Amino acid sequence: MNICKNLMPTMRQLDGFTKYCRASYFAFIHSSPNFSVEVHAPDQEVVIALGSNVGDRLHNFNEALQLMRKSGIHITRHGCLYETAPAYVTDQPNFLNSAVRAVTQLGPHELLGALKKIEKEMGRTDGIRYGPRPIDLDILFYGKLRVSSEILTVPHERIWERPFVIAPLMDLLGSTIDSDTVACWHSFSMHSGGLFDAWEKLGGETLTGKEGLKRVLPIGEGFWDWSTKTSVMGILNLTPDSFSDGGKFQSVEAAISQVRSMISEGADMIDIGAQSTRPMASRISVQQELDRLIPVLEAVVGMPEAEGKIISVDTFYSEVAAEAVSKGAHIVNDVSAGLLDSNMFRVVAGLKVPYIAMHMRGDPSTMQNSENLKYDNVCKQVASELYSRVREAELIGIPAWRMIIDPGIGFSKNCDHNLDVLMGLPNIRAEIGSESLAMSHAPILIGPSRKKFLGEICSRTAGTERDPATVASVTAAVLGGANIVRVHNVRDNADAVKVCDAMLRQRKSVSPS
């Protein structure tokens, strides 16, 4: 779904803002090396592009962001992460590209100096133009101002011809205009539809997912392009009281056998949980959860069959998340999106692993009470509440390129709400996209497996009798845009996912766009 294209009427907001911007921006003058005039105010909002294709590219990004913060550049938003083919000089490794929005009191030339210093500290040397480099930092926008000097031009003069720059720049916007500064950025494109038009004229979303411009999420030692296929996440419950399979896999031997079976049936990911989050579940302590989790996690990580598979830990405790990642888990899956542990965002930011943020109101003991089941528009409110959580996580230091979102089927929702969410995934993406296109592009996880609402619809009391209904709900979710499905029965759902992916590929192949 092309969110920008579908919400283009919001660009009418540009008209008044554009007039204001054209009347109010200042030019920076730097007519000679010995004379300069620079006018700037405190707290300017800026956009900085990042690129790297030498060494550990992701580590280079992390280090650059850290050095930027130390230099007085407060990062507020992150674009998605892109693996891109080199431009201009093509005989070199692929790049990672992204961009950030930030606030700084540095003037434009001071900012340029700070970025050049970071590049030098990270090992960049003078070489061939557009050649390999450990880090490349470019100022795309500086407040509502244009800059023109011998050493700096803002907006960056080659933005409009570079998809690998425009794509992450678009991620930093919402489909609605959130400030007059953003409206000015749109006006700088010289298109009537602003930056949205500039992006569409380059090819827009049709460019992503191809070899030259892949949107990726870093997991473990590699990068995951979730556009190529829907991933199947197999559930491993280590709890005695889970609603579907409680008590079955508490021993290490039984757990390993189940993981081996799920992998053989087509699981791409294994989600290990040692704390029950069913309605009215009693909470266990951090230590109890670790005692259940760690022996099994260590055994799973050591399985030859698990090589190349993604291991997720299902926990809302930051201490459990940290210990699990240290033992080999790749992802933290938090049903509370940080609400049940105030340290979770900060810990995950430090762990530098992907984070699954799920929508839930209250906690497992209160999530199904009457107050938490009140919605006027469930998709709109789920999107808004989930976005508020991932926005806080981003401000604390978890980049958008590490986020996975889960609307929380069965959590603080009744049967009708769950159906609305399953059928409304495009609406949830669009609603999040009004605030942040980066977050709207994040992988969506859906977990309807064997849940109570399926039993209510099909009159199936036992969880294990709800597998056909699960397949139906998974099918709807994948066709609606889900990227990961979390299931108990891997074999049947993996087949359903393959058929859905084939249908989606066929739809793309015959689409006029």
The residues annotated as belonging to the active site are 451, 486
Report how far apart, in Å, the C-alpha atoms of 13 and of each of 3, 90, 144 are. 17, 40, 16
CA 106 – CA 114 distance, rounded (Å): 9
Q: Are 48 and 152 in contact (CB under 8 A)?
A: no
CA 382 – CA 363 distance, rounded (Å): 16
CA 310 – CA 262 distance, rounded (Å): 13
Q: Which amino acid, one-letter code, is at 314?
A: D
Q: Is 400 exposed, middle or buried (0-12, 13-18, 19+ CB in 10 A)?
A: buried
HEC profile for 441-479?
Answer: CCCEEECCCCCHHHHHHHCCCCHHHHHHHHHHHHHHHHH
CA 180 – CA 186 distance, rounded (Å): 10
The DSSP H or E segment spanning 112 is: helix 108-121
Beta strands in 54-190 (DSSP E): 73-78, 81-84, 95-104, 136-142, 146-149, 153-154
Residue listed under structure tokens 């480099």:
133
